[in-house]
Chain A
Amino acid sequence: DSGVTQTPKHLITATGQRVTLRCSPRSGDLSVYWYQQSLDQGLQFLIQYYNGEERAKGNILERFSAQQFPDLHSELNLSSLELGDSALYFCASSPEVGTVTEQYFGPGTRLTVT
């Protein structure tokens, strides 16, 4: 158990819909990263938040957005869903203190768009 929690574990929805994925980082970790794992694209970085502020963006579609709340939990919002958005979405957290840079992953949310 990494200490990172993600809900829900599974999500099945239809094209065109909007969903919200939730992540609670390990206690004390300020950074939250979102990654997408799909068969064709592999593991790709989407976005990072650090202590409530957006810090870095990767290959995140405009239809996707995220935020980090004062209690440091984060949500990833996916809208106008397409079949190709079906993937495993991971959240990872890191303390980002000194040289402590390990990222600890949650169990993931498996999104299926039908």
Chain B
Amino acid sequence: AQTVTQSQPEMSVQEAETVTLSCTYDTSESDYYLFWYKQPPSRQMILVIRQEAYKQQNATENRFSVNFQKAAKSFSLKISDSQLGDAAMYFCAYRDDGGSQGNLIFGKGTKLSVKP
């Protein structure tokens, strides 16, 4: 079974600095998707970024980028120019390329604090 591991329960970053959140996963599949979701205190789950396993190029969304290492099964999230509004729980998630079937498998999450 696929698993997702986030080894950093908590992280802290200074406003305007850069922080990297780690995620590793285990799968025997070759085609799959990886996601980062943000959960602020409001508890809403917000999609931050996604990566298709067949793409070698790392995904980027504004200040958010990923470092996808398929062979190492690693998928880290880099947040540049951190802002106070980035403070939240961040969840790494995996999904098989299963056509119209594909639930997300989540890591335990990393709580990010941003210091002013």
Contact = CB atoms under 8 A, between A and B. Distances in A.
Interface in B41-60: 42-47, 50, 52
B100 A55 contact: yes
Contacts of B104: 33, 35, 43, 45, 92, 103
A19 to B, nearest CB: 19
A99 B52 contact: yes
B52 to A, nearest CB: 7
Contacts, number: 60
B103 A105 contact: no
Given A105-B45, A107-B43, A107-B44, A42 B108 contact: yes
A42 B43 contact: no
Interface of B: 33, 35, 37, 42-47, 50, 52, 91, 95, 97, 99-109
25 contacts: A2-B46, A42-B108, A42-B109, A43-B104, A43-B106, A48-B101, A50-B100, A55-B101, A56-B101, A56-B103, A58-B103, A92-B45, A92-B104, A96-B100, A96-B102, A102-B35, A102-B47, A102-B50, A105-B44, A105-B46, A107-B42, A107-B44, A108-B44, A108-B45, A110-B43
Interface residues of A, number: 27
Nearest to A96: B100
A105 B47 CA distance: 8
Identify whether the interface residues of A are mostly helix, strand, loop, or mixed.
strand
Contacts of B105: 45
